[in-house]
């Protein structure tokens, strides 16, 4: 780690006689300015990411890896290092190893294995630590929690899905009930509701859990059940394997993707199957941390919940928001599959474009606009029971706090069908 600790100055012999008290004051002021500059800025940074999974072929760790690479491309004085398949028992040993090698920003890219970093934050006061938020929003002076407002892009996906379904049935292959999943599904569901209302059609959203984030066989089974038994003709997922996409491709139904543009970046399928995806640019969040560390800020912002109005300019000049709908390297309405676009009424295309633009300007947000009415299902937390069905937890046109959205949003929205 190379940090600017001070300046070396050569002073020529003074021929002018200066009163001793004045000279002392001048030297003290100069020393103060030098010390302030030294402590306020760093010449270089090393960003270390502990990935909970492998990187290759994954949308989650793959997106984090791409983000850090983009940071290093833009900032020649920032180095990126990483470890893969890091479990909670390895978080601290790997972190300390990387710190000894010069890392000064250390991040866990999942909460379950990132939280142990808070236990060593006091031991390394000059290091920034960070962890993705799932539901625990614990922070410390140098322990940063972060997550993107993916629900904004998911809302736009919901509008598109509502327009595409002919059976009126949309399926979500989901991991397990948790705040992160419930929040993201809520964004999608609100989009479906608004799209259905605008088109005067009835649409049912079915959710079926597989029990974990990555269970390819079970995900395939659930996706197949949703298609066969519940007649869904648009399917999406809150899991991490490619099985739901495979089923959509085999069954010739529409797939709506998450976390990354899987057509444009991975080539896993084509726009014949993928109607749209959303792309997460974790680099927007990482850049905030890097810039604060390089500036020498010892008290950084410790909760980062950034969305479509927050952007980063990449090394090639491209400006990217934290999240956006994306497909085959196209963004916005242009991201909608050329095969799907003629099936979507012009009114929905205009609404997608309008809401996207409004969110990018910070003028509109689905979680502000809509009421949160409980479905009576969800996840009971230690101090937060699931609200009874029909309970208005948040009224329309009220802004929920970031900490509530990230840590307490524990119920499905009324009207969702949660399958056993």
Q: Give pLDDT, residue 27.
A: 37
Q: Give pLDDT, residue 21.
A: 37
Three-state DSSP at 338 gives coil
Average pLDDT rounded to a whole number, residues 80-101 = 98
Buried b (16+ CB within 10 A) or exposed e, 236-259: bbbbbbbbbbbbbbebebbbbbbb
Helices (H) and strands (E) in the chain, counts: 12, 19
Distance CA 353, CA 351 (A): 5
pLDDT tens track for 14-31: 223 333 333 333 334 443
Concatenated DSSP letters for 73-93?
Answer: HH-TTEEEEEESS--HHHHHH
Both tokens of 266, joined, read 């991975």
Residue 419 CB partners (closer than 8 Å, separation 6+): 206, 207, 208, 230
Reported as a pLDDT band with limits 50, 70 and 90, residue 40 is: low
Average pLDDT rounded to a whole number, residues 220-244 = 97
pLDDT tens track for 45-62: 999 999 999 999 889 999
pLDDT tens track for 235-261: 999 998 999 999 999 999 999 999 999
Taking a C-beta distance cutoff of 8 angstroms, is the pair 287, 314 a contact? Answer: no
The reported pTM is 0.90
């Amino acid at each position: 780690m190379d940090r600017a600790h001070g300046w070396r100055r050569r002073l020529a012999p003074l021929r002018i006689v200066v009163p001793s008290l004045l000279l002392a004051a001048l030297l003290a002021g100069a020393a103060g300015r030098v010390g302030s500059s030294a402590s306020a800025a760093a010449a270089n940074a090393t960003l270390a990411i502990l990935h909970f999974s492998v990187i290759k072929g994954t949308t989650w760790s793959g997106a984090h890896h791409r983000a850090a690479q983009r940071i290093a491309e833009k900032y020649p004085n920032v180095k990126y290092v990483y470890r893969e398949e890091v479990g909670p028992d390895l978080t601290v040993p790997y972190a300390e190893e990387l710190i000894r090698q010069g890392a000064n920003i250390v991040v866990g890219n999942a909460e379950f294995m990132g939280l142990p970093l808070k236990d060593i934050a006091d031991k390394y006061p000059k290091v920034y630590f960070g962890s993705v938020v799932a539901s625990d929003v614990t922070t410390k002076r140098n322990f940063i929690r972060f997550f993107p407002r993916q629900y904004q892009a998911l809302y736009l996906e919901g509008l598109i899905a509502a327009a595409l379904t002919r059976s009126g049935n949309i399926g979500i292959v989901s991991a397990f009930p948790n705040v992160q999943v419930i929040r993201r599904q809520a964004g999608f569901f609100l989009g479906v509701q608004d799209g259905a209302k605008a088109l005067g059609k009835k649409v049912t959203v079915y959710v079926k859990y597989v029990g974990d984030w990555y269970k390819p066989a079970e995900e395939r089974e659930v996706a197949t059940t949703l298609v066969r038994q519940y007649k869904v003709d648009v399917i999406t997922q809150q899991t991490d394997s490619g099985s739901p996409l495979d089923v959509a491709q085999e069954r010739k139904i529409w797939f709506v993707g998450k976390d990354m543009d899987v057509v444009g970046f991975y080539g896993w399928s084509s726009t014949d199957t993928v109607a749209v995806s959303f792309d997460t640019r974790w680099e927007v969040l990482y850049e905030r941390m890097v810039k604060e560390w390089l500036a020498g800020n010892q008290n950084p912002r410790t909760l980062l919940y950034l969305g479509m109005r927050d952007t980063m300019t990449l090394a090639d000049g491209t400006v990217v928001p934290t999240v956006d709908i994306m497909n085959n390297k196209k963004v916005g309405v242009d991201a909608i599959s050329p095969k799907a676009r003629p099936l979507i009424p012009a009114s929905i295309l205009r609404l997608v474009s309008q809401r996207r633009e409004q969110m990018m300007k910070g003028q509109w947000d689905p979680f502000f606009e809509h009421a949160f009415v409980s479905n009576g299902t969800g996840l009971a937390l230690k101090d937060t029971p699931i609200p009874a069905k029909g309970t208005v937890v948040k009224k329309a046109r009220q802004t929920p706090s970031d900490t509530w959205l990230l840590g307490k949003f524990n119920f499905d929205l009324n009207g969702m069908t949660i399958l056993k």
